[in-house]
Amino acid sequence: MQPLRGYRRPAPGTQPEYLHPPYGSSLKRAPTQALISIPHTLSEITGPIFRKEIIDARACDLTRQGKGAPLGERITVSGRVLDEDGRPVRESLVEIWQANSAGRYLHKIDQHDAPLDPNFNGVGQTFTNDEGRYRFVTIRPGAYPWRNHANAWRPQHIHFSLFGPAFATRLVTQMYFPGDPLLELDPIFKSVPDEAAKNSFISKFDWATTTPEIALGFQFDIILSGRNATPMEEW
Ligand SMILES: [Fe+2]
Q: What's the pLDDT tens digit per position in 93-136? A: 999 999 999 999 999 999 899 999 999 999 999 999 999 999 99
**Type of residue found at 52:** K
What's the pLDDT score for residue 5? Answer: 87
Distance 159 CA to ligand 1 centre (A): 6
Distance 136 CA to ligand 1 centre (A): 17
C-alpha to C-alpha distance for 101 and 123, rounded to whole angstroms: 13
Residue 235, pLDDT > 50, answer: no
Q: Is residue 134 within 8 Å of residue 96, measured between CB atoms?
A: no
What's the pLDDT score for residue 1? Answer: 63
Residue 42: in which H helix or E strand, if any?
A: helix 42-45
C-alpha to C-alpha distance for 4 and 39, rounded to whole angstroms: 10
SS3 218: strand
Helices vs. strands in the chain: H and E counts, helices first:
3, 11
The yes-or-no answer on residue 112 being catalytic is: no
* Residues in a beta bridge with 7: 227
The yes-or-no answer on residue 144 being catalytic is: yes
Contacts of 100 (CB under 8 A, 6+ apart): 70, 71, 72, 106, 115, 116, 117, 120, 122, 139, 141, 142
Q: Is residue 101 within 8 Å of residue 141, measured between CB atoms?
A: yes
Distance 124 CA to ligand 1 centre (A): 14
pTM of the shown model: 0.94
SS3 201: coil
| Core vs surface per residue 16-49: b (16+ CB within 10 A) or e | beeebeebeebeeeeeeeeeeeeebeeebbebee
Contacts of 116 (CB under 8 A, 6+ apart): 100, 104, 106
Residue 145, pLDDT > 70, answer: yes
Band (pLDDT 50/70/90 cuts) for residue 229 is confident
